[in-house]
Amino acid sequence: MTPPTERKIVREFYRDMPFNYYETAETAVANLRNNPIAAYPDLDALLEEDEIETVLEIGCGAGWASNAMALHYGKRVTAVDFTEKALQRAAEVAQRIGTADKLSFVHNDLFAFDTDARFDLVLSIGVLHHTDDCRAAFDHIVKFIKPGGVLFLGLYHLYGRRPFLDLLQGICAAEGKEAALARFRTMTPDIEDETHLRSWFRDQVVHPHETQHTLEQVMGWLDEAGLELASTNINGYDDPSDRAALIAREKQFEALSIRYNVEQNRYFPGFFTVLAEKPE
């Protein structure tokens, strides 16, 4: 479990500028209209199913995923985060787009959060690697999945992450944060809102704590939790039954990251997702 001092450092980091934060709620709403969940084809297809009614999002931040799930799929979502400013923005966006009746925002640390409720889908995207014990965080959140339910998890990838961090943090060390921000800006031309850009840069490049993981490692966690891997972006959401092929494939992500980030100057954060099912 994350020591209180470590949690405090991460909480303070997000206090004034949460991740994925826009200058105004209006801009956040405008970007939400173009369904951001569509970036995850397996999650998008899952949410189209009527069987998924209740969702728990751990680490919802400013609410992009929770609001999208309520707006585009009509899901009822319990969304947990420990950053008050992020939750305020998430609730404001929900009011503006008419999803407030489907959303319950909870101000709490993920390790302290508890409920007797069990959910059809438990979701955590880019959060657990910012705790000091990603595995303990994983073990904590999977207990909220009901039998027959699903986990969707996104984490930084050990191999794919290295070249990105080496590049941007190297510029930070040699030339300063503004120089690194300028390079990040050229890598992410689609981010037009300055506040949004800076929130991404802070989270991606100068975060005080992160860990990186592999699909091989997470498959072991799934096995021990009694969950079955259904899909992953590591192999483009194809059949995940050949584990040896998946492990070999993910080791190629370092070269992929070098090609995108270093050679082509195209943002490739080194991030992977898994969708896993809990048997009835």
| Share above pLDDT 90 across residues of the chain, in percent, rounded to a whole number | 96
Interval 124-148: pLDDT, tens: 999 999 998 999 999 999 999 999 9
Closest CA to 232 of 136, 164, 152: 152
276 three-state secondary structure: strand
Element (DSSP H or E) covering residue 10? helix 4-15
279 three-state secondary structure: coil
Is pLDDT at 2 greater than 50 in this prediction? no
Residue 115 has a pLDDT of 97
Q: How confident is the model at residue 6 (pLDDT cuts 50, 70, 90)?
A: confident
What separation in angstroms does the CA of 149 have from each of 46, 53, 85, 219, 265? 11, 10, 31, 17, 39
Give the pLDDT mean for 147-154: 98
Is pLDDT at 77 greater than 60 in this prediction? yes
Residue 136 has a pLDDT of 97
Residue 141 has a pLDDT of 98
Interval 189-237: pLDDT, tens: 999 999 999 999 999 999 999 999 999 999 999 999 999 999 999 999 9
CA distance 155 to 41: 17
Q: Which two tokens stand for residue 153?
A: 């998890």
Is pLDDT at 4 greater than 70 in this prediction? no
pTM exceeding 0.75: yes
Is pLDDT at 62 greater than 80 in this prediction? yes
Give the pLDDT mean for 145-154: 98
Give the pLDDT mean for 96-117: 96
| Share above pLDDT 70 across residues of the chain, in percent, rounded to a whole number | 99
**Average pLDDT score, the chain:** 96
Mapped to the 3 state alphabet, what secondary structure does 107-125 carry? ECCCCCCCCCCCEEEEEEE
Residue 1 has a pLDDT of 47
Give the pLDDT mean for 2-14: 80
Residue 233 has a pLDDT of 98
